[in-house]
């Protein structure tokens, strides 16, 4: 039997659960904040919300949980740009995006390579500084938030969050790290849907 992982947005999850149960004669149950369905013939599904809660004890409560994620601050950083946002109950409450370009690595050697590396590091430092400034302006005024969600290049994100201006974010619990393209306005607009997505570990014979 093959296993795979799929992602389903919250608005479709009720129909997805019903369809899986009908196809495999399964009954859903809650296991430590996750929803599990065991069906006939070895079929199974484990639904993992981005923000699980052990307070959930019913299927209805599970669907309500994923449909109303907690208020989150968001910091996204990639080498082509960055974004800061606050998302609350399915809408982007505040956001801003910026662009800085960090050149890729080069195969050149010698003096040219050293000069290129210095220029590349300078570009990365400027990107980190600008991203921290945006997070300071967008996220800090909206505190408190329940979670800090990050996305993009993990190393750059950690450099941004190490900025002394963002010291207040160190106390905020970390949420998921999102895989995102260069953070543009269209990516920010999709954040409410990203934060309600459910990962499903699926065995479907």
CA angle 142, 7, 62 (to 5 degrees): 65
Pair 159, 134: CB distance under 8 Å: no
Domains delineated in the chain: 3-68+196-203 (no CATH), 72-193 (3.30.420.60)
pTM of the model: 0.85
SS3 152: strand
Residues 15-37: b if buried by 16+ CB within 10 A, e if exposed: ebbeebbeebebebebeebbbbb
Q: Look up residue 163 and give its two tokens.
A: 């900025």
Pair 3, 21: CB distance under 8 Å: no
* CA–CA gap between residue 14 and residue 48 (Å, rounded): 14
Helices (H), the chain: 10-24, 59-67, 110-138, 154-161, 185-189, 191-194
* CA–CA gap between residue 56 and residue 33 (Å, rounded): 6
Q: pLDDT tens track of the chain, all 205 residues? A: 678 999 999 999 999 999 999 999 999 999 988 999 999 989 999 999 999 888 998 999 999 999 999 999 999 999 989 999 999 988 999 999 998 766 555 545 555 666 666 676 787 889 999 999 999 999 999 999 999 999 999 999 999 999 999 999 999 999 999 999 999 999 999 999 999 999 999 987 7
């Amino acid at each position: 039997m093959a296993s795979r992982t799929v992602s389903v947005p919250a608005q479709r999850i009720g129909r997805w659960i019903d369809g899986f149960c009908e196809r495999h004669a399964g009954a859903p149950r809650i296991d430590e904040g996750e929803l599990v369905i065991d069906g006939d013939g070895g079929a199974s599904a484990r639904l993992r919300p981005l923000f699980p809660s052990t307070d959930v004890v019913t299927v209805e409560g599970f669907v309500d949980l994923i449909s109303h994620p907690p208020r989150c601050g968001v910091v996204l950083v990639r080498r082509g740009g960055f974004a800061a946002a606050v998302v609350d109950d399915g809408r982007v409450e505040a956001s801003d995006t910026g662009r800085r370009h960090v050149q890729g690595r080069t195969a050149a050697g010698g003096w040219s390579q050293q000069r290129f590396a210095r220029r590349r590091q300078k570009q990365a430092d400027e990107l980190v500084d600008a991203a921290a400034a945006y997070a300071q302006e967008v996220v800090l005024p909206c505190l408190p938030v329940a979670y800090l969600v990050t996305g993009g290049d993990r190393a750059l994100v950690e450099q941004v969050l190490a900025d002394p201006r963002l010291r207040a974010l160190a106390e905020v619990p970390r949420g998921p790290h999102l895989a995102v393209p260069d953070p543009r306005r269209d990516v920010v607009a999709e954040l409410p849907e990203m934060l309600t997505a459910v990962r499903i570990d699926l065995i479907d014979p």
